[in-house]
Amino acid sequence: MIKYILKRIVLIIPILLAVGIMIFTLMYFVPGDPVSIALGNSATQEEIEAIKTSKGLNDPYMVQLGRYLGNLVFHLDMGTSYKTNMPVSMELLSRFPNTMKIALSSIVLTMLIGIPIGIRAAIKANTFEDRLSMFVSLLGTALPNFWMALLLILLFSVTLKWFPSNGDKSWKYFVLPAISNSIGSIAMIARQTRASMLEVIRSDYVVTARAKGVPERKVILGHALPNALIPIITVCGGSFGMLLGGAIITESVFSISGIGTYLLTGINSRDYNVVQGSVLYIAATFAVLMLIIDVLYAYVDPRIKAQYVQSGRKGKENGKKDK
Amino acid sequence: MKKRLMAILLTVALMCSMLAGCGSDAGDEGKVGEDGEKLKEITLVNTTQDYDGSPFAGVSWLRLLTRWMTHGTLFGAFPGATLDELQPRIAKSITMVDEVTAEIELFDYVTDSAGNKIDAHDVVFSYETAATSGNFSPKLLGSIASIEATGDYTLRLTAANKSKGTMELIVTNIPITSQEWYEGADESERTMNPAVTGPYKIRSFTSGGTIVFEKVENFWQTDESMKADIDKQPLDVINAVVITEGSQRVIALENQEVDVSFVDTSDIHRFLNDDGTAADGWMVKAIQDMPQLLFFNGSENSVFKDNEELRQAIAYAIDSQAVRLGGGVPDGIGENVRTVGNSTLGGYNTQWDEEDYYDYDPEKAKELLAKAGYEPGELTLKVMTLTNSGITSAAAVVQSNLSDVGINMEINSYDQALFNTYMYDSTQWDMMIYAVPSQNGLITDLWLNAFDARSFEQGTMNFVEDEHLQELLVAASEEFTEESIDAFHYYLKDQAYVIGLYNSVQYYAAQDGVEEMGLDGMQAAVPTLYKLADDYETVVSQ
Amino acid sequence: MQNQTEKFLNVNNLVVEYHSAGAAVHAVNDVSFSLEAGSSLGLVGETGAGKTTIAKTIMRILPDHAVSKVEGEVKFAGQDIMRLSDKEMASIRGKDMSMIFQDPMTALNPVKTVVSQVAESIVLHQKLSKQESISKAIKMLEMVGIAADRVNEYPHQFSGGMKQRAVIAIAIACSPQLLIADEPTTALDVTIQAQVLELIASLRKEIGMAMILITHDLGIVAEACDNVAVVYAGQIVEMGSKEDIFLRTAHPYTKGLFAALPDLKGKTRKLVPIEGLPPDPTNLPKGCAFSPRCPYADEGCRERAIDMTEIAGGHLCRCRKIERK
């Protein structure tokens, strides 16, 4: 199992390299550059070109790419922001916790609220309660997260004055962002959980469990749910990607200084190093997260664990094969 | 089941530890000053997430608002100030020895907030460093021919051209810093905690977040009579919080989370009464922006090349008042534009207000369109704008005006980056709505920025090659007489290469404890120029 | 039947209806039978006859969402278990009566170890400590022929035969008085089949369990059952001792079943199936359910429902024609 995990961690490196090259190339070909933005109003084209050349922005593609990758790989240096001259890695590090706070609290909320709703809907399938909760969750996926955020602010911040409307100073500031960010994924998880559970509840081993005299509650939570978890975990993983991305919008609305807003500002001012660095950071987070999800699978389903162990051992016979 | 519980608990624990880490409030410092009195504090809004405190930092929203609050310059300006009206800051006096050369004397007791003494060599260093930083307008830098220290506290400064207003620009727009400190400091110190020659320094700096400024105790200029307005210290602490969303800024103001904020044109009505005055409890500041201009593409392939009638037809088709209202500028605050420029600029001739400036006349427009050789419905033109909502609404009004006379118009809105790229590409637009600034408050500067063929690869900003225009332009900017200015204005009006559309306005809304917001030479509402009520108190509860 | 109240298990007038796609499915139509303690009853019939439904009804593990009607009485060890609350029933299931299912491949929970699944029963009903339950579970598994060094594995690591044995271990873990085996060997190959049957037989002897064995295989019935009930279209059409059914076959359907068996001794050229198909349970015939296919049927058979009549002591048959004989 450990071997499998190590292999996966090592695999992250070429993934990040590929992401780095892709985003660099994309930014290279997108029109606009940081110097024109900064000085566009007050300088002639010639002058702008001169400054660009002095900053190395007119060098050929391969030269610039090589320079960027070289710094990245050998010095672990993501460059500096054209605007602020501060090292990108330092700025990312200081903003990363904020984005993670939103994303993590969103995913916890998603699981804590979404899964029980789904389980309940599955148990009470086709009753009014089930239909109601599925309708509400449909609304949740359909309504835009941005709009919900503003509604929440109007209600909880302006009218009730329970929470501040923007900023990121203490935990209070993260409540509304976490809620608004999670609404879509809570809905998605609830639906997925319901579907998974419905499938599992009809399984034979659930009947066996009942036949053993296991109390209904334990049948649902102890026998059915663990088996339903695989697709649920998959959706949670995909959700996290959505939550991480959604966190960007949420950060904008609530003025939380995180990677999302850093990325947005960087895009608007074509601050290449900022955009590249942020994308790499997000890609790395995602890759690590996917690994965690895959490891979680192994804990939930021993069949998958066996697969991993096998692939980790690479060809060595699994001694405990069937007779 | 147990394992899953463990996984969840682990996640929650991780999350809590992260949150716990940021439990402490940023502004924990005492709210009470040394003499026991409550500190005068204000919270204003930064609309973007970037800010760099270094003397030679690049432009950002907050930077434009606060640069002269933190950094000193030779002299301080206000809108339309001429050389003799400038206020001494680091420099005590200035004397022009000839048309382009000035002799400047500094105060001999200037120190920065870290105690370093500032002398003429530091000034020369500052100018040279600004030139190589890549963050200052090449036009500005290009207008400085030379600067040298002639003594410990004296300088000789030579401008590169005779245009009016150049010297004023040169002496009020370059920050002065101590060479010793600057060379000894590392990048992060320069950005986050610079030694400053201005009245405020940075107390705390959160990248992408709140910046807190506090007044410099023992500011070097102890002689109140000599202090420039911009060096005043009406507040003890200034907090700049980041709110990037327009609607959030409105909410923050109404929720009493900030004292002052920039407000989008589309939202300002919430703070105004029907008659345009500020609503109860609020103060609204309207700052006249540079006029939005309509440029006609004058390049070879353009329909406008050598077709004066077409340009004039469009000019008459446009109802400027409607465009202005569409752009979000109500009556009483905005004015209609009567030239390429507006009346706040030095050199504006009020005579022009009496004259026709393509006043709305759709019948005449149709006539001219026919003379230009086009049938109604035949032409489709592309207009390019920034994505600012006021401008795009204004463009929509223009579109409707033009369709009334039989010209179809497509609106393409781009973000700043793309716009700057396409601006120089004559194939990307037929017309462009854009505001060209004047950097020294003079109308001739605006004209130079738009038309000076020496600055562009091909003719003017809109690719017009007209030698006569250039001649008149140079004459107007160098002579700066009523005749030369009129000459340019009338020729430009006849040719209609560019016409003025409307003046956009920038709004700030503040709690009524802020009675007035003064402006610096570039029309920035610097906090040191705020006029506060006697009983001013911040509305933000901590 | 005489002495009904004394019997170990009495099923009286059981009716079960499902609803599916708007139609009512008459799965069980007035079934009555009884079982003595320690004896075994074979429920024989085609697929879809309603045998599994009868079994699940006794266990009260029918899928609630699909069932629209359950009527009748099931007296088990003196009490009518149809009247018990869910909780009370749960304490009987697994302890006093348990069930083995048809498909061993899916009957075990894939994410739990085999030993834990056996131990769960024990913990639930016998109030032993966790340690004790595990060791008892291991003993049970050994009893069914699963080595102690394999008990901590997961179901996917077991073969089909081993899985079924594990299922049996779970069923007998608390020494129930009644075992219901629903086609326990159908999914297994023949050699394993014999092993499993043998195992069940020896366990029965050891524990003294009564058994209801559901199957469509008459051969198994001959080997494992004392009494037989033939089920057709949700009704019992013939019931009696093994000898009664095999040697003194009465009902035309039962006769047809036997006739359809390949005879190794004689020279059978072609197999003799029963003509026609079983009736659609949403639309049962008015009279005798078998009448459309019965070679002896006449108008009287098709008109009204037929009652069970006793032919000889303990041998019952639901056919008018028998009276005539």
pLDDT surpassing 90 at residue B431: yes
pLDDT score for B206: 85
pLDDT score for C214: 93
pLDDT surpassing 80 at residue B26: no
Among candidate residues A114, C245, A21, A42, the one with its CA nearest the CA of residue B449: A42
Q: What is the mean pLDDT of residues B242-259?
A: 90
Q: Which of B302-311, B396-405, C66-75, C296-305 has the lowest mean pLDDT?
A: C296-305
pLDDT score for A91: 87
Look up the CATH number of domain C4-84+232-324.
3.40.50.300
Structural domain boundaries of chain C? Answer: 4-84+232-324
CATH architecture, range A92-268: Orthogonal Bundle (1.10)
- pLDDT-derived band at B333, boundaries 50, 70, 90: low
User: Which residues, numbered 82 to 121 in chain A, qualify as contacts with chain B under a Cβ-Cβ cut-off of 8 Å?
Assistant: 82-87, 90-91, 94-95, 97, 100-101, 104-105, 107-108, 111
Cα dihedral sign for B78, B81, B87, B91? Answer: positive
pLDDT score for B29: 46
Q: Look at B209 and A168 and tell me if their CB atoms are within 8 Å.
A: yes
3-state SS, A225-245, equals: HHHHHHHHHHHHHHHHHHHHH
The chain A residue lying nearest C113, using CA atoms, is A302
Query: How does the average pLDDT of chain A come out, rounded?
Result: 85
Q: Look at A214 and C90 and tell me if their CB atoms are within 8 Å.
A: yes
Whether A126 and chain C come into contact, CB under 8 Å, resolves to yes
Query: pLDDT of A46-80, one tens digit each?
Result: 777 888 888 888 888 899 898 888 888 888 888 88
pLDDT score for A315: 42
pLDDT score for A71: 87
Size of interface A-C (CB pairs under 8 A): 88
Residue C103 · residue C135 · CB < 8 Å: no
Distance (Å, rounded) from C-alpha B486 to C-alpha B488? 5
Q: Look at C110 and A227 and tell me if their CB atoms are within 8 Å.
A: yes
From chain B, the residues in CB contact with A44 under 8 A are 138-139, 455-457
**Long-range contact set of residues A157-161: C-beta below 8 Å, sequence gap at least 24:** A157/B251, A157/B255, A158/B251, A158/B254, A158/B255, A161/B255
pLDDT surpassing 90 at residue B296: yes
- pLDDT-derived band at B71, boundaries 50, 70, 90: very high
Say whether B500 sits in a helix, a strand or coil.
strand
| ipTM of the complex as predicted | 0.79
pLDDT score for C1: 43
Q: Are strands B431-435 and C9-20 parallel, antiparallel or unpaired?
A: unpaired
Distance (Å, rounded) from C-alpha A55 to C-alpha A51? 6
Q: What is the mean pLDDT of residues A102-106?
A: 87
Residue labelled with tokens 């899916």 = C106
pLDDT score for B33: 54
Query: Largest alpha-carbon pair distance within chain C?
Result: 67
Query: How does the average pLDDT of chain B come out, rounded?
Result: 86
Q: What is the mean pLDDT of residues C113-130?
A: 89
Among candidate residues C109, C241, C254, the one with its CA nearest the CA of residue C170: C109
Sheet strands side by side (includes B154-159)? B91-96, B101-106, B154-159, B144-149
Distance (Å, rounded) from C-alpha A255 to C-alpha A275? 19
User: What is the amino acid identity at position B67?
Assistant: R
Size of interface A-B (CB pairs under 8 A): 191
Q: Are strands B530-532 and B379-386 parallel, antiparallel or unpaired?
A: unpaired
pLDDT score for A40: 63
Type and span of the H or E element at B214: strand B211-215
pLDDT surpassing 80 at residue A246: no
Whether A31 and chain B come into contact, CB under 8 Å, resolves to yes
- pLDDT-derived band at C67, boundaries 50, 70, 90: confident
From chain A, the residues in CB contact with B138 under 8 A are 39, 42-44, 47-48, 51
- pLDDT-derived band at B318, boundaries 50, 70, 90: very high
pLDDT surpassing 60 at residue A194: yes
Distance (Å, rounded) from C-alpha B320 to C-alpha B332? 15
pLDDT score for B13: 56
Q: Which of A31-45, B116-130, B452-466, C188-202 has the highest mean pLDDT?
A: B116-130
Q: Which domains does chain B have, with CATH numbers?
A: 41-242+512-532 (3.40.190.10), 289-505 (3.10.105.10)
Say whether A292 sits in a helix, a strand or coil.
helix
Distance (Å, rounded) from C-alpha C149 to C-alpha A102? 48
pLDDT score for A321: 44
Q: Look at B449 and A32 and tell me if their CB atoms are within 8 Å.
A: no
Distance (Å, rounded) from C-alpha B232 to C-alpha B200? 9
Among candidate residues B420, B65, B286, B265, the one with its CA nearest the CA of residue A269: B420
Residue labelled with tokens 């590169």 = B160
Whether A42 and chain C come into contact, CB under 8 Å, resolves to no
Query: pLDDT of B514-537, one tens digit each?
Result: 999 998 888 889 999 999 998 888
pLDDT surpassing 80 at residue A36: no
Distance (Å, rounded) from C-alpha B254 to C-alpha A153? 12
Distance (Å, rounded) from C-alpha B208 to C-alpha B206? 6
pLDDT score for B483: 92
Q: What is the mean pLDDT of residues B134-147?
A: 85
Among candidate residues B220, B267, B282, B313, the one with its CA nearest the CA of residue B539: B282
Q: Which of B459-463, C90-94, C296-300 has the lowest mean pLDDT?
A: C296-300
pLDDT score for B22: 42
Structural domain boundaries of chain A? Answer: 92-268
**Long-range contact set of residues B398-405: C-beta below 8 Å, sequence gap at least 24:** B398/B294, B398/B318, B398/B323, B398/B433, B398/B501, B401/B317, B401/B318, B401/B319, B401/B322, B401/B323, B401/B362, B402/B314, B402/B317, B402/B318, B404/B317, B404/B362, B405/B313, B405/B317, B405/B362, B405/B365, B405/B366, B405/B369, B405/B376
B488 phi/psi in degrees, rounded to 5: -65, -45
pLDDT score for B259: 94
pLDDT score for A253: 85
Q: Are strands C23-35 and C9-20 parallel, antiparallel or unpaired?
A: antiparallel
pLDDT score for B15: 54
Residue B503 · residue B331 · CB < 8 Å: no
